[in-house]
Amino acid sequence: MFVAAAGKSNMGGKADSVVQLSNYSANGDISASTPHIVELSRDLFLVAWEEKDMATYKSPTTIGYAYVDGTGKQVGQTKTTPGRLSDCQPIVVGDNVVWYVIDSSKPVFYVLGDKGLRTVRVLGNEPQFTDVEEGNWAYPFVQRAYANGAVSGVGNDKYNPGGEVTLAQFAAMLGNVAYNGEVTDKTMTNWYNRQMEVLQEHGVLQGVDSSNLDAPATRYMMAQMVYNLIQDFGETLPDASAQTAAQAEILDWDQIPQQYRTAVNACYAMKIFAGVKDVGFAGDRAITRDAMAAMYCIWRMCWKPSNSERTRI
């Protein structure tokens, strides 16, 4: 991907400068689409394109982008992030660049700003997943997380709320929601490596066995990662009396390994977890897709439905 710049007085001549933004091999598996160029100011432009997998011809799922100044000089590094472009020309709205794509006959808006790329689905157009109906405790969380592009269905109007979540999937969600700006600064080699790198740098994976990222992540792992995240953000932890009261709520406290007790107790005291009814925390069980949607809503927006005092994670 190259950008050539020429002054108005030199429109018919040789370019004043040429800058290379990316390096796609002519015979490589990854190619690039025709880029969009968006004027952010008189001296700053965004160049964005989709990466195409020429080996599989699957629909693009990655966006590359970079900024150049009025002379064609690159400003900052070229970045990639999961996402899509369309024939819609991106526009500037405030400090962000906005465009939309059509997904399952519904618009999905992308918003690119200084903290990276996020998606916004139009509220009211959420799919009515047949396996997460109104009245289900997870319904408002799944709907809100889907509307924000944090989760997706599994096809045939299903969400699969009880489906197990791998450590890579949970780490990718947590990294995107907590450190999105840092994630987009990393070089992407697969769909989760950047999030894992950032979480490692912030100590969020401390105490978590990350040797098998494709294995289901346990609720113990979730508690430890959330606790580490709370500490990294400098949140105030509950006092001793609150933690003692919370411990009394955990029916299976005696079965919780010593290494996870501090994290589980703190998260209970902060009303993040409520455990499994009549069982306790059940930390050796896998994180489920409904719990991941709820965790996204809690952390991303400090949001919960008005008729719920706490979640059932």
Tens digits of per-residue pLDDT, 155-186? 888 999 999 999 999 999 899 888 887 888 88
What band does 19 get if pLDDT is binned at 50, 70 and 90? Answer: confident
Predicted confidence at residue 305, as pLDDT, reads 42
Q: How far apart are the first and last CA of the chain?
A: 45
Spatial CA neighbour of 297 closest among 148, 149, 145: 145
Give the single-character DSSP code of 215: S
Mean pLDDT of 218-235: 93
Least confident of 257-261, 274-278, 281-285: 274-278
Predicted confidence at residue 310, as pLDDT, reads 44
**Long-range contacts: 48-54, Cβ < 8 Å, 24+?**
48/85, 48/90, 48/97, 48/112, 49/1, 49/22, 49/85, 50/84, 50/85, 51/80, 53/29, 54/28, 54/29, 54/30
Mean pLDDT of 200-205: 96
Predicted confidence at residue 16, as pLDDT, reads 76
CA-to-CA separations, 241 to 223, 226, 306, 308, in angstroms, rounded? 20, 21, 27, 24
Spatial CA neighbour of 238 closest among 216, 213, 192, 269: 269
Predicted confidence at residue 301, as pLDDT, reads 57
Does the pLDDT of residue 252 top 90, yes or no? yes
Mean pLDDT of 219-232: 94
Please list the alpha-helical segments (H only) found in the chain. Answer: 139-147, 167-185, 193-201, 219-232, 240-249, 258-269, 289-301
Mean pLDDT of 11-20: 76
Does the pLDDT of residue 243 top 70, yes or no? yes
- The model's pLDDT over 22-37, given as tens digits with 9 standing for 90+, comes to 888 777 778 888 899 9
The values of phi and psi at residue 109, to 5°, are -95, 140
What's the sign of the alpha-carbon dihedral 229, 234, 236, 239? positive
Q: Which residue has the tokens 């580490």?
A: 228
- The model's pLDDT over 63-108, given as tens digits with 9 standing for 90+, comes to 989 999 988 899 998 988 888 898 889 999 888 999 998 876 678 8
Does the pLDDT of residue 308 top 60, yes or no? no
Within a 13 Å sphere around the CA of 208, how many CA atoms are in the beta-carbon half?
A: 30
Predicted confidence at residue 11, as pLDDT, reads 63
Mean pLDDT of 181-197: 87
Percentage of residues of the chain with pLDDT beyond 90:
42
Structure tokens at 88: 């819609």
Structure tokens at 153: 């269905």
Predicted confidence at residue 99, as pLDDT, reads 93
Structure tokens at 85: 């472009």
d(CA 67, CA 31): 19
Domains of the chain, by residue range, sit at: 2-125, 167-287
Averaged confidence pLDDT in the chain? 85
